[in-house]
């Protein structure tokens, strides 16, 4: 993804929501058994994202629940496609993943931030690690069948996964059943890549507005008054937490995986987790006081023009979770 500019509220939310929901193969719930496929029934409907009104991203379903429902569709369609190709694929369940990580099958972005902060250190060790059942299936195949499996699943490029596409924002390199499933769930991989680029450009135009620049300066002062620290933007806070986290643990392992017991300072990690949540809450307070009121007006103006100029593109997009 394109790096964030100061106080990139909407883009940060969109990227964070996708990153947290994408099914991690080493977390409980991702392919727990061959008989339990992904399901969108456990995720609340995305009515708010599809309702009239709200921001462009609300209407497109870029919410935690909307993306969870879309990911469930990707997993189920991939399994069906692979079966038609003569291979077994165990679909992961993003709702189960979220439940394992957060303790709830559904959680709003606001509730997640209030409970887990930025989700950097606070998800560490939650859920339990397990091996990827699809990696086991692939490992049991002979060389020729393994190549056929890779062609069917990814077009012959096993490194091009849905998770990588989410991380990079480039869905055009997907192939095989993964591409087919993503096309069906999102309305087309090229369309999704184009949409994300346009939304990033929209965010950039909002943040370049001088009203937002001044609001960002007020946010920095608010954070300095509350914490005694000078932060240019939220990304600076997150970068600092990442660095401190890796100094304690050694490396940033994904949720469900932990470093060997006794290999890191558990007290230091617990303190950093509490600090992350407090910093996030302070960030939200300052954001709501200085950023949100200004962004509401600026965004309304910019999005009105965006809807007019990008009407053809928006008509092609299938709202997530629909």
> What value does the mean pLDDT of the chain take?
79
Q: Is the pLDDT of residue 285 over 90?
A: yes
User: What mean pLDDT do residues 225-234 have?
Assistant: 94
Mean pLDDT value across residues 140-147: 95
pLDDT of residue 319: 77
User: Mean pLDDT lowest for which of 30-44, 48-62, 119-133?
Assistant: 30-44
The pLDDT, as a whole number, for residue 19 is 44
Instruction: Please report, for the chain, the start and end positions of each structural domain, with discontinuous segments joined by +.
Output: 9-316
Check pLDDT > 90 for residue 240: yes
Mean pLDDT along residues 270-299: 96
Q: Please list, in sequence order, all residues whose beta carbon lies within 8 angstroms of the beta carbon of residue 136, skipping any fewer than 6 positions away.
A: none
Residue 64 vs residue 98, higher pLDDT: 98
**Least confident range of 45-59, 82-96, 106-120:** 45-59
Higher pLDDT pick, 105 / 167? 105
pLDDT at 69 over 90: no
In this prediction, residues 23-49 reach a mean pLDDT of 37
Spatial distance between the Cα atoms of 71 and 65, rounded to a whole number of angstroms: 10
What is residue 315's predicted lDDT score, i.e. its pLDDT?
87
Cα 169 from Cα 215, distance rounded (Å): 28
According to the model, what pLDDT value does residue 321 have?
62
Least confident of 18-27, 81-90, 189-198, 302-311: 18-27
| 92/25: higher pLDDT | 92
Instruction: Please give the Cα distance from 16 to 252 (Å, whole number).
Output: 16
What number of H helices and E strands is found in the chain? 16, 0
Query: What one-character-per-residue DSSP string does 107-150 give?
Result: --HHHHHHHHTTSSSTTTT-S-B---HHHHHHHTS-HHHHHHHH
- β-bridge mates for residue 27, sequence order: 129
Q: Return the pLDDT at 275.
A: 97
Q: Is the pLDDT of residue 43 over 70?
A: no
pLDDT of residue 306: 95
The pLDDT of 218-236, averaged and rounded, is 95
Residue 34 vs residues 71, 74, 160, 176, 268: alpha-carbon distances, Å: 18, 16, 23, 21, 39
pLDDT top residue among 104 and 252: 104
Q: What is the pLDDT of residue 278?
A: 97
Q: Which of 165-179, 186-200, 207-221 has the highest mean predicted lDDT (pLDDT)?
A: 207-221
């Amino acid at each position: 993804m394109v790096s964030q500019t100061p106080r990139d509220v909407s883009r940060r939310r969109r990227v964070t929501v996708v990153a947290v929901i994408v099914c991690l193969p080493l977390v409980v719930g991702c392919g727990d058994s061959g008989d339990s496929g992904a399901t969108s029934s456990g995720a609340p409907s995305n009515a708010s994202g599809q309702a009239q009104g709200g921001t462009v991203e609300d209407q497109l379903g870029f919410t935690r629940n909307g993306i969870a429902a879309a990911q469930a569709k990707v997993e189920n369609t991939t399994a069906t496609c692979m079966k038609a190709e003569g291979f077994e694929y165990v679909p992961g369940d993003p709702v189960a993943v979220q439940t394992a990580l957060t303790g709830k099958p559904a959680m709003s972005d606001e509730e997640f931030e209030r409970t887990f902060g930025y989700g950097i250190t606070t998800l560490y060790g939650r859920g339990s690690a397990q091996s990827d059942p699809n990696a086991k299936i692939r490992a049991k195949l002979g060389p020729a069948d393994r190549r056929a499996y890779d062609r069917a699943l990814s077009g012959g490029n096993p490194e091009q996964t849905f998770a990588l596409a989410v991380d990079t924002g480039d869905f055009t390199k997907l192939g095989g059943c993964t591409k087919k499933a993503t096309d069906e769930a999102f309305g087309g991989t090229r369309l999704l890549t184009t949409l994300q680029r346009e939304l990033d450009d929209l965010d950039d135009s909002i943040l370049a507005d001088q009203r937002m620049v001044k609001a960002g300066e007020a946010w920095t002062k608010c954070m300095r008054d509350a914490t005694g620290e000078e932060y240019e933007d939220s990304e600076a806070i997150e970068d600092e937490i990442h660095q401190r986290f890796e100094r304690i643990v050694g490396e940033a392992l994904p949720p469900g995986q932990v470093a060997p017991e006794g290999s890191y300072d558990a007290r230091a990690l617990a303190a950093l987790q509490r600090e992350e949540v407090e910093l996030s809450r302070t960030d939200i307070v300052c954001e709501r006081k200085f950023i949100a009121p200004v962004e509401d007006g600026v965004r309304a103006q910019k999005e009105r023009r965006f809807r007019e100029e990008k009407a053809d593109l928006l008509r092609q997009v299938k709202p997530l979770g629909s």
